[in-house]
C-alpha cells in the first residue's frame, strides 16, 4: 500500500539543538524581542513509502536516533505562549533537503523514488509575542526570505506531493516531406 502520505516532524534533542539556540539569540539581539525558548522542527511529507518501510525510513534517513526526537503525524503540545511559524521553499525553488531524502530513501528501499516535501516549523515561546502581534510579524519578516520561502499553514498538505495524473502521449511529429513533391498532410488533419 503506497497511496498514503506519511508525515514526520524531527527536532534536535537538548544539547544538540545549537541551531535553535543560535536562532533564538539572533532574534533577541537583532529585533530586541524577549523570547523564552525556540524549537525548530523539520517536517517531512513522504509519498511512496509503505507502512512496513516507514519506521526504517524515519530512523535511517529522516532522523538520527542519538540526537533527534521524531513525532509522527502531529507536533507535540506547546504552552499557550507559543506561536508557530511554518515555512516551505517556494514552488520551483530547489529543495536540497527533499532531494537528498528522496535519493536516500530510494537507495534504502531499492525501488521507485518517493516524493518528499519539507517544511521548517519555528515554535517561538514568548509572552511578548503572544500579546504583541506586531512583534511576531517582525520575527516572521526576519526569518522568511521571500525569494526562497513562503509561510504556510502548519497542518496543510503540500498540493504538489500527489503524483500528477498521467498526461496523454505527445502528438506525433509531422512526417518528413516526400522527395520530388509536396509534403503529405499531417495525420491529424
Report pLDDT digits (tens) over 111-159. 899 999 999 999 999 887 776 788 889 999 999 999 999 999 877 665 5
pLDDT at 132: 77
The set of residues, in sequence order, having a beta carbon less than 8 Å from that of 12 and lying 6+ positions away, is 18, 19, 20, 40, 67, 68, 69
* Residues 6 or more apart whose Cβ sits within 8 Å of residue 85: 121, 122, 124, 139, 140, 143, 144, 151
Which single residue is written with the C-alpha cell 532531494? 99
Give the pLDDT of residue 113: 93
Percent of the chain having pLDDT more than 90? 62
What was the pLDDT predicted at 155? 73
- Residue 169: is its pLDDT beyond 80? no
Question: pTM for the complete prediction?
Answer: 0.80
% the chain with pLDDT above 70: 79
What is the spatial distance between Cα 68 and Cα 65, in angstroms, rounded to a whole number? Answer: 5
pLDDT above 80 (res 177)? no
Q: Is the pLDDT of residue 1 over 50?
A: no
Is residue 160's pLDDT more than 90?
no
The overall average pLDDT reported for the chain is 85
pLDDT tens-digit map of 32-87: 888 899 999 999 999 999 999 999 999 999 999 999 999 999 999 998 889 999 99
> Which grid coordinates belong to 178?
516526400
Q: Residue 189: pLDDT above 60? A: no
Domains of the chain, residue spans: 5-152
Amino acid at each position: 500500500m503506497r497511496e498514503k502520505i506519511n508525515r514526520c516532524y524531527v527536532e534536535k534533542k537538548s544539547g544538540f539543538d545549537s541551531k535553535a539556540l543560535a536562532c533564538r539569540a539572533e532574534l533577541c539581539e537583532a529585533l530586541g524581542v524577549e523570547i523564552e525558548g525556540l524549537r525548530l522542527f523539520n517536517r517531512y511529507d513522504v509519498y511512496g513509502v509503505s507502512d512496513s518501510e516507514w519506521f526504517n525510513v524515519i530512523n535511517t534517513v529522516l532522523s538520527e536516533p542519538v540526537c533527534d526526537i521524531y513525532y509522527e503525524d502531529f507536533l507535540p503540545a506547546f504552552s499557550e505562549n507559543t506561536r508557530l511559524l511554518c515555512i516551505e521553499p517556494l514552488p520551483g525553488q530547489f529543495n536540497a533537503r527533499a532531494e537528498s531524502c528522496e535519493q536516500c530513501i530510494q537507495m534504502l528501499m531499492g525501488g521507485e523514488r518517493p516524493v518528499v516535501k519539507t517544511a521548517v516549523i519555528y515554535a517561538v515561546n514568548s509572552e511578548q509575542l503572544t500579546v504583541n502581534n506586531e512583534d511576531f510579524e517582525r520575527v516572521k519578516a526576519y526569518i522568511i526570505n521571500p525569494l526562497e520561502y513562503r509561510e504556510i499553514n502548519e497542518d496543510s498538505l503540500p498540493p504538489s506531493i500527489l503524483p500528477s495524473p498521467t498526461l496523454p502521449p505527445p502528438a506525433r511529429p509531422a512526417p518528413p516531406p516526400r522527395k520530388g513533391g509536396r509534403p503529405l498532410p499531417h495525420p491529424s488533419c
